[in-house]
A and B are shown apart, each in its own frame.
Chain A
Amino acid sequence: MSYTAIADQPEGESHDPDTFITKYIYSQDHKVIAIQYTITAIVVGLVALVLSGLMRLQLGFPDTFSFIDPTNYYQFITMHGMIMVIYLLTALLLGGFGNYLIPLMVGARDMVFPFLNMLSFWFYFVSVLVLMASFFVTGGPTGAGWTLYPPQAILEGTPGSGWGIILMLISLTIFIIAFTMGGLNYVTTVLQARARGMSLMRMPLTIWGIFVATILGLLAFPALLVSAIMMLLDKIVGTSFFMPAVVSMGEQLNYSGGSPILFQHLFWFFGHPEVYIVALPAFGMVSDVLAVHARKNIFGYRMMVWAIVAIGGLSFIVWAHHMYVSGMNPYFGFFFATTTLIIAVPTALKVYNWVLTLYRGNIHLRPPMLFAIGFIFTFTHGGLTGLFLGNVVVDLPLSDTYFVVAHFHMVMGVSPIMVLFAAIYHWFPLVSGKHLNDKLSRLHFWITFLGTYAIYLPMHYLGFLGVPRRYYAMGDTDFIPASAQTLNANITVAALIVGLAQLIFIYNVIRSLSKGEKSEPNPWQATSLEWQTPDFPPKHGNWGKTLPVVYRWAYDFSVPGAKYDFIPQNVAQEDVEPEDLEREGLDQDGGDGEISSEGVESMGDKT
């Protein structure tokens, strides 16, 4: 036998870390790396949150804050967008949750390449440092908008067109190297290191979401990498990949023959899958949170898996819907509008299945569940407004207005953040062994959920009105009523409240780490493997002496005939305790949950 599955290999030397440095700094343990990723991402995310507060101050109360001039304003929006999309969401969902959950949920001791995993974090850390350094260089960070469209991004009329854009592109390059090292790890671990019995179709949807998102990332980020490198060359060496002959501020520049639209194609070839790199892990995690707290199997598991795969595949052929008015060949519009609206079908099915998971469930309205419900609401809203923008003619009036800003914040900002909080509230006891404070968690939910809706619902209507995005000040126009300014002020107030409310969350986390109520193992009575480790919280190596063996899918909740309303994945069929006879009289809700003649029957046997 030349090949032995990793799950069957005898445990080698575990290289238990023994010093502070090997344990917490240069750690190769996926759990520590996950926490490093998470903390770094949250810290840099807070910077981006402050930047958004500053830009909202300008929009809500123009002429009030002397320190926000157009230069700063464009730098704020650019850095806010780039940090949130790449350095917070991508890093936190994949580097943070991916790292923590993949080995635990598939039943592995660690990532397949632990050293590479450590390098991945440190490259990410350096990319963040380079990005932050751009705040301190001459001219400041780039103000080209997070899409960094050339020629504007590297020409004089844009803030930070010197060192700012150079550092941004270098930082992105380093980030992509970091992502590739991490991503190869995640994919290989999912494919090669699953526990015995963990077939692909038994994996929790969290893993499916992260797995497919990582594949998307590995295929999409190279497009951003080449565009970053080519733009660096255009900027530093004077090549003309994206630069046509232009006259900038009255001066003939030495470029010719390059194509600005080429950059946009490359950028969105990355940029649209990027939306799903963020969304798919969120889809997966919210599915698991919903199932656990509704005590019910996820509805239509196979459909959910195929929807993730289909969305992932389709996400590579919809990119130019970001470019309907870019001046590309207008005939592209037919193709990309069609593919874009097709992608709405699997996405809608996922929403239905989430709601149908709650239907006939036994719903515990704990904080993670509240955030998950909040996600269904915000994602439905954001998904539906996507049908406006995806339909090419409807995009004509709405493109580049606040409707776009509101849409993508609902779908790509608020919705993933709702899931991130659901996930943090859900898995915090596993990571720390402590419970978060329930009252503070709920307060955090209510302010965040209602506050974000107060920000973004009315913002769509500014877009209908025709208010353009990326305007430092609107000034006087014929068609925008004065009430729009009042609305903007209200949006700003809501945004500041939501921003400040995140301090509740941070306080709750810090306080609970030391003073939180101790959590019993598997407090939510979940079925997936990460809750079934011999130590709680899991220790280095995760599984003690023997790796788990998987007997069923991850959603055996409320199986008729079983004593408890959950059967962990690593419980064999013969070990399932049958239901007490006294419980016979219980309402099985609907009555068709009758006990089969063989006793307990679940999807675990069928898959």
Chain B
Amino acid sequence: MKIVIVLILLVIATVVFHFVSPWYFTPIASNWSSIDDTIDLTFVITGAVFVLVNLFLAYCIYRYRHNIKTRAHYEPENKKLEIGLSVVTTIGVAAMLAPGLFIWSEFVNVPKEAHFVEAVGQQWQWSFRAPGKDEVLGKVDSRFINESNPFGIDPKDQAGQDDVLVFGNELHLPLDKPVKLLLRSKDVLHNFAVPQFRVKMDLVPGMVTHLWLTPTRTGSFEILCQELCGIAHFVMRGRVIVDSEEDYETWLTTQPTYAETQNKVVGDPALGQASYAVCAACHGAQGEGNIALNAPNLNGMSDWYLARQLDYYKKGVRGAHKDDPLGQQMKAMAATLVTDKAVSDVAAYIQTLPDIVPKATIEGDVERGHSYFVTCGTCHGAKGEGKFGVNAPRLAGQHDWYLKQQIMNFKSGVRGNHKDDLYGVQMVLMSRILPNEQAIDDVLAYINTFN
């Protein structure tokens, strides 16, 4: 008889759990509240069936438990009952399906007045593109994708010249305006999902998919990739900021157009050499770094990475954390490079410095380190050479003590957690695979074998 009591308790517990559970939908931020209503309706219907069927089950088990004195009732069929149940079930199902299809047709038919923005996915980052004044997005093709044209915009297509490019994981959307999100992937399947918007859709390489919604409240909402896209799927995060229309327009003007990115200033190593004198004080004349001054190796680092980090220091994205005194020093120094041009000049000069192999200072288990590094190598390269395609800097040739410091900083959130640090948050999550200092030493011992 235990089973009877347990079944009844489970039914009660399930219903109670449903109502007291603190884990439920996040407050909605889009026009799709009709989806929530359909879910409520589905809950009422399925909940009633769940309770009735299981309570009847419990009743049957109790009432018709084995009794030596009785026999079961012999009744192979009962047409009336079976037809009755079929009809009731069909009605219940139709009651859920009909509103569902009605709302789906709204989802399928994008309103004509919707403006559109493109979300581009790649392993494991988001970027976005909005049409310029012509309200047309330029043609794209994966053949055109390269370091200076990561969106793959057709350079000959005039419509693409004024496209507004958003490098980085943050998209702004204007409040109360229907938007059609065009979804495009460069490599594998991804999925654009914002829990507060309720709707989601896959990004499929080779085609453009879409979804539409109207943001209904301002705020900042996380984008989560919800289609397994490889080893770092879980760090593929982004953010949608819903602004008032004026704020949105302002934001849009701060983003570069495609044409602007093509005319970007090229760093001049000769000019950079002059500015580098300041850097050399700590980092050394050859950029070889200095353990006593906590200065990392600079030679061999890619210009795009150096430029990004200098920019971060200048803006306080990096080095502003109160527990990062060394970063704060660097922040002050980076401020001496006033313009973007100055930053790229220095980065260009550093490219001319010879590669100097640093001395290993950390010992660890190379074998164990190797097994950890399999994950790191996916982005940073099997030999730690770095990959621009996934914005992962070179690790080989860097001082092990510096790398250790940075891994610790990522782990403790001192580095990477700033909201404008585009890729740092990935390292915050990824550094968790190194559970303790020993693991960090092991992986660094392995990285040292590249030198």
Indicate if the CB atoms of B100 and A393 lie closer than 8 Å. Answer: yes
Report the stretch among A23-31, A298-306, A512-520, A528-536 that lies at the interface: A298-306
Determine the chain B residues whose CB is within 8 A of the CB of A258 once the complex forms: 206
Interface string of A443-465 (1 = CB under 8 A from B): 00000001001000110011011
B23 interface neighbour in A66, A299, A483, Cβ under 8 Å: A483
A384 interface contact, C-beta 8 A: yes
Nearest CB of chain B from residue A346's CB, rounded to whole Å: 9
User: Which residues from chain A sit less than 8 Å from chain B, CB to CB?
Assistant: 62-66, 69-71, 74, 143-145, 149, 151-152, 155-159, 244-252, 257-261, 294-297, 299-303, 325-327, 330-331, 333-334, 337-338, 341-342, 344-345, 348-349, 351-353, 355-356, 358-365, 370, 373, 376-377, 380-381, 384-385, 387-388, 391-394, 396-397, 399-401, 450, 453, 457-458, 461-462, 464-466, 468-475, 477-479, 481, 483-484, 487, 555, 557-560, 565, 586-590, 592-593, 602-603
User: Do residues A158 and B230 form an inter-chain contact, with CB atoms below 8 A?
Assistant: yes
Query: In the complex, which residues of chain B have a beta carbon less than 8 angstroms from the beta carbon of A557?
Result: 72, 74
Tell me whether A261 and B204 are in contact (CB under 8 A). yes
A466 lies within 8 A of B432 (CB): no
Interface contacts beyond A297-B74, A342-B93, A394-B38: sample of 6 additional A-B pairs, CB < 8 Å, sorted by A: A157-B188, A388-B39, A394-B39, A472-B234, A487-B23, A559-B74
Q: How far is the CA of A261 from the CA of B207 in the complex (A)?
A: 10
Q: Are A355 and B23 in contact (CB under 8 A)?
A: no
| Cβ contact within 8 Å between B97 and A337 | yes
Q: Which of B61, B81, B85, B226 contacts A363 (CB under 8 A)? A: B61
Residues of B within 8 A of A388 (CB): 39, 42, 46
- Name which residue of chain A comes closest to B239, CB basis: A478
- Could you tell me if B435 and A63 are in contact, using CB atoms closer than 8 angstroms? yes
| CB <8 Å contact, B429 and A380 | no
Binding site for A on B (CB under 8 A): 1, 3, 6-7, 10, 14, 17, 21-26, 32, 34-35, 38-39, 42, 45-46, 49-50, 53-54, 56-57, 60-61, 64-67, 69-78, 81-82, 85-86, 89-90, 93-94, 96-97, 100-101, 103-105, 107-108, 122-123, 141-143, 145, 147, 152, 183, 186-189, 191, 193, 195-196, 198-207, 209, 220-222, 224-235, 371-372, 374-375, 378-379, 387-390, 425, 428-430, 432-436, 439
Contacts of B141 in A (CB 8 A): 245
Given A151-B205, A249-B387, A464-B23, decide whether A74 and B231 contact each other with a Cβ distance below 8 A: yes
A66 to B438: give the CA distance in the assembly, Å.
Answer: 11
Which B residues lie within 8 Å of A70 (CB)? 231-232, 234, 375, 430, 433
Residues in chain A near residue B50, CB distance under 8 A? 380-381, 384
| Closest residue of B by beta carbon distance from A474 | B234
The number of residue pairs between A and B whose CB atoms lie closer than 8 Å in the complex comes to 383
Q: Is B72 a contact partner of A558 (Cβ separation < 8 A)?
A: yes
CB pair A558 B89 closer than 8 Å: no
Residues of chain B with a CB closer than 8 A to A380's CB: 49-50, 53-54
Q: Report the minimal beta-carbon distance from A442 to chain B, rounded to whole angstroms.
A: 9
> Is the pair A470, B233 in contact by a Cβ cutoff of 8 Å?
yes
CB-nearest residue of chain A to B411 = A63
List, in ascending order, chain A residues with CB within 8 A of B100's CB.
Answer: 337, 391-394
The reply to whether A483 and B234 contact each other, CB–CB distance below 8 Å, is: no
Q: Do residues A64 and B435 form an inter-chain contact, with CB atoms below 8 A?
A: yes
The docked-state distance in angstroms from the alpha carbon of A149 to that of B189 is 8
Contact call A249/B201, Cβ cutoff below 8 A: no
Nearest residue (CB) in B for A340 is: B97
Q: Tell me which residues across on chain B come within 8 A of A471, comparing CB atoms.
A: 233-234
Contacts of A588 in B (CB 8 A): 70-71, 73
- The 9 A-B residue pairs with the shortest CB-CB distance in the complex, in nearest-first order: A250-B389, A244-B206, A466-B195, A157-B230, A327-B209, A360-B73, A296-B72, A152-B188, A400-B226
The answer to whether residues A360 and B64 also contact, given A157-B230, A327-B201, A394-B35 and a CB cut-off of 8 A, is yes
Query: How many Å lie between the Cα of A301 and that of B77 in the bound state?
Result: 7
CB distance from A405 to the nearest CB of B (A): 12
Q: Which residues of A contact B372 (CB under 8 A)?
A: 69
Min CB distance A36 to B, Å, is 34
Minimum C-beta distance from B221 to chain A (A): 8
- Given known A377-B57, A391-B97, A478-B222, contact A327–B204 (CB-CB < 8 A): yes
